[in-house]
Structures are given as C-alpha cells and as structure tokens.
Structure 1
Amino acid sequence: MKPAPFDYVRCDSLEEAAEVIAQHGDAVRVLAGGQSLMPMLNMRLSRPSVLADIMQAGDARQITADKATLRIGAGVRQTALSAYPDLCKINPLLARALPWVGHTQTRARGTVCGSVAHADPSAEIPLTLAALDGTVILRRGGKRRRVTASDFFLGMMLTDKADDEIIEAVEFPILSEGTGVGFCEVGRRKGDFAIVACAALVSPDRVRLAVGGVNDTPVIRDWDAFDPAEESDALNALAWSLDAREDLHASARYRRDLVRSLGAKALQEARTCAA
C-alpha cells in the first residue's frame, strides 16, 4: 500500500517544526527516523495532512553532556548515540541497552526520541529512560515543559505529549560513582522487540529493577539494599505483582518466569559492574 496524500514540509530547525505543528495541530506527524511512522503511513493507520521532516534540523541532532545530564536531541539517530565518545562512562546503562535495539540497519535510521515518542512497552530506550528517572522535554511553539518518564508513559503507545507538542529532547541523568548497571532481554529473534527486558541499577544503598514487555508501561521496583539470599523471594513477589499479558508471542506465566530469571541475571551483572 501507499500512504494517503499529505503535504511535506522540510524543517530546518525545531522552531520551524514547532510552528508547523502549532499551525496544523493534530493533522501533523513529525518525521525523524521514520522506523515506526513509515509503516503506519503505508498501511494507512496514520493519515496526516502534513508531514514535518526534522532530519535536516541541525539543532535537533545535538548530543550534549555535563556533570549531571546527557541531553539527546529529537533528531539524534541511535547509531550516533552509540558512537558518542565515552558513552560507556557517561551512561553505562544506555550503552548496554542500545545494542539490543532493533538491527544495525534500523539503528542507522531510528532516533532515540522517536522510540520514546512511540512508547512501545517492549522497547529498550523507553525502559532505560524510565529506569534512570529521565526527562522528556516537550515544546509547544516557544514554550517548553519537562515531564519525567514516570509521568510521560501513560499506556501502550500512549504518552503525555499533546497533539500540538513536539519532543525537543530527552535527558538521561549521569549515574553516581559506584552504581553498577545490568541489562538483558529475551526476544523471539535477535533484534525483535523484547518479550521481557530487565534493566538493573545497584548502589550501596539501593537496588532498582526496571521491567519492560510485561505491563503496558515500564515497571520500576526499588528495594533497600538486600542480601542476595533474599533476591529470589523479591523477584518472585515482583513477578506476581505485574499485570502480565498473554499474546501470540508468550503466555503470562512465561513472562513471569522471565522476570525472575532475567531479573536475577541483570542484578548479578549490575553487582559485578559495581565491584
């Protein structure tokens, strides 16, 4: 199939894109990497009147880091972030998660913010953003607002972004020294969306596990630092607390089993990283 007719606007800046969205509202779709949008257009699941292309916007392709935050612009491709100097030191959890995102070809086109905007509950980048208490920066015209990941993801492919807003950037906090990280997942094939994915953070006073692919949004569970002997009971309680769904890929029971096994693996990886 081919997309329904639309007007195409190549935006040279995020300001221009924000103006196009302000003018046309929910009739606009923003094209960045296009890995999710283009199939939806071709199948006519999305029928915008205007397509605003931001991939030529220089201010959308910037990655900046300071002592507290890694900021990633709306047009930054996943491959570009993977190649960012010292990403393993600046944000080791993100560095571990990115190789699990799709395939080399899709990472070369797909954007970080596009994955966040799509809000697939099995996607690795939204899970990592939630695990790190990251922030989404939304722009409406000349105004901006900041939304934490926990408030941004509302449901399966449902977010707090209004129709007349654009994601300008996302921000990942820089982890404190001594924090170990782990990431692992299981999918049908390498590069597929995860059936279950787990991201772990371990510090001297906190243990955190983030789970994707089970509920409609990433699930975060924090514990005070516990003895590894208590880990099995904690993971079992977490698995049963989740609203595990059944689909053609996996049963609810299998997803809960994966939470237990992958959770233990991610936590062990994080402890090793912190040592």
Structure 2
Amino acid sequence: MQVPAAFEYRRASSVEDALALLETLGEEARVVAGGHSLLPMMKLRLARPEYLIDINDLSDLDYLRVEGGELRVGALTRHRSLLESELVGSHFPIFHDAERVIADPPVRNRGTIGGSLCQADPSEDLSAVCAALRATLVVRGRGGTRAIPMAAFYRGPYETAVGPAEMLVEIRLPLVPHSGSAYEKVERKAGDWAVAAAGAALSLHGGRIGQAGIALAALGAATVNSVRAEQALLGQEPTEQAFAAAGRAAAQDCDPVTDGRGSAEYKRHLADELTRRALRRAADRAAVAALAAGAAGEDG
C-alpha cells in the first residue's frame, strides 16, 4: 500500500490566510483543493511537502463570469462546473471537449482548474486548452497580483512561475469574435492520460483565419504552442490544405519520446492528425459563430 510521507495539515479560511500560511511555512508548503494531481505524486513519494494547506473553504475563488472582454475563471472552479456551464460552452466549446475526456466523474467533481494548471504535467489536458486560447493566469502574493501569459507560466515539467508564497487565483480567457475551438485526444482507455492531444482555436474574418492557437499535450516535456502551425494558418482560408500544413508543422514542433504509450514516430503522426481534426471542428464552430453574429447585426 502506497502512503505519502508525513506532513502537517492546515486549513485556510481566506485567500489572505492561505498566503500568510505559505509565507510562514516556506517552500515546503503546498496548497491542495481537489488533490487529484498532488496526492498521487505524494503516494509515490515524487512530492514530499511538509505542509498541506487546504483551500476548499475559499469559495470566492469558485466562479465563472464575463468581465472586461474576457471569461474569468476562479482557480477553485471544479472540472464539473466547466463541463456543465453553458457560458463556458457558448464561448469556448474546447473546454467541454476536454472535460468529457478528463478522468472520471469523481475526479471531475472534486478536481479544480487551478490544481490542474499548477501541477504542470506535460500530459494535462486543460494546460493545452488554456495555451490554445492564449489564457492569462493571475497569481497573487501578499504584495499584490501578477498577470502571467500562459506561454510564460510553465518553466518545465511540474514547474510553474508561481512563487513559493503565491497562489494562482484566476484564469482569464479573451473573448474573440467569430471564433471557434476544439480539442482532440487519443487515450488508451477512457479517462486515461493522453497518448497525444491537440487543442485548436481560431477566428475568422472575411473568410480567412485572423487568429490561431495550436497547443499540444503529451508530446514533449511541456505543454507548448506550436508556433509554426499557428503561423502557417494566419491569413489563410480554412481549407484542408491549410489544416494539413498546420498539422505537419505541429508534428515538427513536438518532441515526443518512445514509451509504453507508443513510439515517438507514432506520436508525431498523432500530432499531425489530431491538429487537423481539431482545426476542422474549430473552423466549423467559428463559421457558425460568424453567421450568428451577422444575423444579430453585430458586424456593423
């Protein structure tokens, strides 16, 4: 039976209380909410925090709202809330795509978006979603807040830009007109970590791609945007030819390893194919959004 190393438990009553505990207890303290990312690593002794700070009482970090041209998501928002939210689905269907293939209902009921992002696992689904959507992550410390672009948030596998006395408190997702998004994943069994996955987001302007985000998961040491794939799409019509070029670029940008889930060659093939599939669905959704905006007279 696997059990974690010994640790002490604290329960925070507010964000300020949690930050004070982090500052007092030092670098060996970790916050925990759902625990589905951290606790398995503790059982394997891959993580050995001396203190766990329970933040489940911080209900002010559990929200979904539109503000300032962005969808703002509290870090304590559960996977289930993201999956069931009509607000999230209407603006970013990629979240519903991804949440349907994350683990199982017990995990989705308790796990949080903040916990997933801060774990920084290279195979984690919401990291690819947020990277494709160009999210900004808001980190708070006792001295104030910092807004960190998703591209700068990860420092490597299981490492983020969150400091030892800081917490991720909010995820901000820009609302882009005429946009669509989608997520594609290959897994060995339902709810498993990805063999490979790709997230895509794009916007259409005058029948051409105005903005594009492509992010890959389980295809290297970190979740990354495929910059060459994104650049290959800009200004292009949303055609199979354009999607094929982006797929090939994504396969070149990733750095998979051969392991029990498949060979590096097979995973590169998946990067190509899944990018194309995600782009097809994202483009279809963007076209529907553009038509709806035109019908509502929002283009003028």
CA distance in 2 between partners of 1:44 and 1:230 (Å): 46
Shift of 1:138: 1.3
* Secondary structure of 1:65's aligned partner: strand
How many equivalent pairs are there? 274
Amino acid at match of 2:39: M
Shift of 1:67: 5.1
Return the match for 1:215 from 198, 220, 223.
220
Shift of 1:230: 4.1
In structure 1, the partner of 2:283 is 271
2:92–2:181 contact (8 Å) kept in structure 1 = no
1:60–1:73 contact (8 Å) kept in structure 2 = yes
CA distance in 1 between partners of 2:37 and 2:23 (Å): 23
Structure 1 stretch 144-153 or stretch 76-85: which is displaced more? 76-85
Task: Map residues 236-251 of structure 1 onto 2, 5 A cutoff.
Answer: 236-251=248-263
Return the match for 1:224 from 234, 248, 253.
234
Relative to structure 1, the CA distance from residue 82 to residue 232 in structure 2 (aligned partners, 3 Å threshold; closer, same or farther) is closer
Shift of 1:147: 0.7
Task: Map residues 10-159 of structure 1 onto 2, 5 A cutoff.
Answer: 10-66=11-67, 68-159=69-160
> Structure 1 stretches of 5 or more lacking a match?
none
Shift of 1:98: 1.6
Relative to structure 1, the CA distance from residue 29 to residue 207 in structure 2 (aligned partners, 3 Å threshold; closer, same or farther) is closer
Relative to structure 1, the CA distance from residue 267 to residue 214 in structure 2 (aligned partners, 3 Å threshold; closer, same or farther) is same
* Secondary structure of 2:53's aligned partner: strand
Q: Deviations over 1:222-248 (max 9, x none)?
A: 131335224324422331232222222
Amino acid at match of 1:256: R
Amino acid at match of 2:217: G
1:32–1:74 contact (8 Å) kept in structure 2 = no
* Secondary structure of 1:201's aligned partner: strand
Q: Percent identity?
A: 30
Relative to structure 1, the CA distance from residue 163 to residue 100 in structure 2 (aligned partners, 3 Å threshold; closer, same or farther) is same
CA distance in 2 between partners of 1:75 and 1:168 (Å): 8
Shift of 1:52: 0.6
Shift of 1:142: 4.0
* Secondary structure of 1:172's aligned partner: strand
* Secondary structure of 1:120's aligned partner: coil
1:134–1:170 contact (8 Å) kept in structure 2 = yes
Structure 1 length-normalised TM: 0.92
Q: Deviations over 1:112-151 (max 9, x none)?
A: 0000000111111111111111111112224211111100
Shift of 1:20: 0.1
Shift of 1:47: 2.4
Q: Deviations over 1:161-204 (max 9, x none)?
A: 12222112222222x22112221110111111111111112322
Amino acid at match of 2:219: V
Moved over 3 A (4+): none
CA distance in 2 between partners of 1:17 and 1:168 (Å): 11
In structure 2, the partner of 1:253 is 265
CA distance in 2 between partners of 1:199 and 1:80 (Å): 20
Structure 1 stretch 225-234 or stretch 109-118: which is displaced more? 225-234
In structure 1, the partner of 2:10 is 9
Structure 2 length-normalised TM: 0.85
1:13–1:60 contact (8 Å) kept in structure 2 = no
CA distance in 2 between partners of 1:59 and 1:226 (Å): 42
Relative to structure 1, the CA distance from residue 224 to residue 250 in structure 2 (aligned partners, 3 Å threshold; closer, same or farther) is same
2:113–2:126 contact (8 Å) kept in structure 1 = yes
Shift of 1:48: 2.2
Please provide the CA RMSD for this pair.
1.8
* Secondary structure of 2:192's aligned partner: coil
CA distance in 1 between partners of 2:108 and 2:99 (Å): 9
CA distance in 1 between partners of 2:7 and 2:43 (Å): 12
CA distance in 1 between partners of 2:55 and 2:156 (Å): 26
In structure 2, the partner of 1:183 is 183
Structure 1 stretch 219-228 or stretch 195-204: which is displaced more? 219-228
1:207–1:225 contact (8 Å) kept in structure 2 = no
* Secondary structure of 2:235's aligned partner: coil
Amino acid at match of 2:138: I
